[in-house]
Structure 1
Amino acid sequence: MADIFTPEKRSWVMSRIRGTNTKIDLKMKRLLTDHKYKFEMYPKMFGNPDFVLKRKKIIIYCDGDFWHGFRYYDKKKPAKKFWRDKIEGNMRRDQRYARKLRSEGWSVLRFWEHDIEKNPEKCIRKIKKKFAERK
């Protein structure tokens, strides 16, 4: 399927996609605040995590379903090679970052967009469990 926008218009549309203060990031921020966790949002550190709980060395990522490939290999792939390369590259980068952070002693939690939006209790349960496990 051909793109419905001109290259200039597509560039403008894509430039409006935010990487910080997204709806799911703000919802996770509210969850962490409501449950009295002390956290830093968007810390300047390797891997660019969304949140860090420094005291327990826990990193939290809030991953968009499309951009980070939720059930990517179970679904029909995007028709355009550009999007397949983009999503697969994001997935490889996510794994590489998590591996390095874990090797440095961090615990890495990743939450999918649909879980944050529709099942925040599940997310908080996982955070509480990880928080209790960490010495």
Structure 2
Amino acid sequence: MLIRCGADDIHLPSNLHCCRRVDVRQRLLRSEVSHVRMLPCMAMSWASSDNSRKTMRANRGKDTRPELAVRRILHARGFRYRVHFKVPGMPRRTIDIAFPRQRLAVFIDGCFWHGCPDHYAKPKANAGFWSEKNASNIRRDLEVSHHLRQEGWGVLRFWEHHEPVVIADAISHEHQTITRSNSQQSLVNESQHPAAPRGPGI
């Protein structure tokens, strides 16, 4: 953290405890230092360098460019869907693109955070931390997919490097397949349980 006092700069360690930072600031104010301006300090992170930090920030958790591109294509084709839909029974987990009526869940996984076999490169710094982090994400993905299938949902997972139109085509095909299957099942149910005849005057 940098405290700028006129022409003099006082550098405070970024890992300085919050209470100590407040104490330093209060002492500066009590000393009636003029023109004190607090500059935003960067939160502690596991990034080993500025470049690593920029890379981590570029890997957004939601509304990524691949997601937005796929959603635009689906919307243009007339599909309506929910985004960031909470996984039934697992409210802390969300579905990137969900079709609740068809019970179809779509995930577009980032290559870095989810361990893409083609593009994931293990960071050299903090290798142990990132290995465990990646393994934890993969376990969570498997757990969510298994839970959804147990609840009767179809699950589609894609990597962010896949072409958006290819992803949209696969989603469209699966959506139409599920819709057709549901319609056929409805007809079967109606034939097995015909509606009772209506009486006169009803």
User: How high is the TM-score relative to the length of structure 2?
Assistant: 0.55
Equivalent-residue separation in structure 2 for 1:9 and 1:104 (angstroms): 39
Q: Kindly tell me: are residues 24 and 76 of structure 1, through their superposed partners in 2, closer, same or farther at Cα, counting changes over 3 Å?
A: closer
Q: Please, which of 91, 97, 102 is the counterpart of residue 138 of structure 2?
A: 91
State the shift of 1:20 in Å: 2.2
The one-letter code matched in structure 2 to 1:121 is V
Q: What letter matches 1:107 in structure 2?
A: G
Q: Which has the higher helix share?
A: 1
Match of 2:105, SS state, is strand
Structure 1, unaligned stretches of length 5 or more? 1-5
For residue 129 of structure 1, report the CA deviation from its aligned partner: 1.9
Identical counterparts, % of pairs: 32
Match of 1:65 in 2: 111
Instruction: For 1:60, give the aligned amino acid.
Output: V
Map of 1:49 onto structure 2:
95
**What SS class does the counterpart of residue 155 from structure 2 fall into?**
strand
DSSP 3-state at the match of 2:94: coil
Deviations 1:49-87 (A, max 9, x none): 111011211011110011111117x97644311111111
Q: What is the number of residues matched between the two proteins?
A: 126
Q: 1:75 to 1:131 in 2, by over 3 A?
A: closer
Residues 37 and 16 of structure 1: CA distance in aligned 2, closer, same or farther (over 3 Å): same
**Root-mean-square deviation over aligned CA pairs:** 2.6
In structure 1, the residue matched to 2:186 is none
Bigger RCO of structures 1 and 2 (CA < 8 A, at least 6 apart)? 1
1:106 aligns with 2:150: no
1: CA distance, partners of 2:145 / 2:130:
23
- Larger relative strand fraction: 2
Q: What TM-score, normalized by structure 1, do the two folds share?
A: 0.79
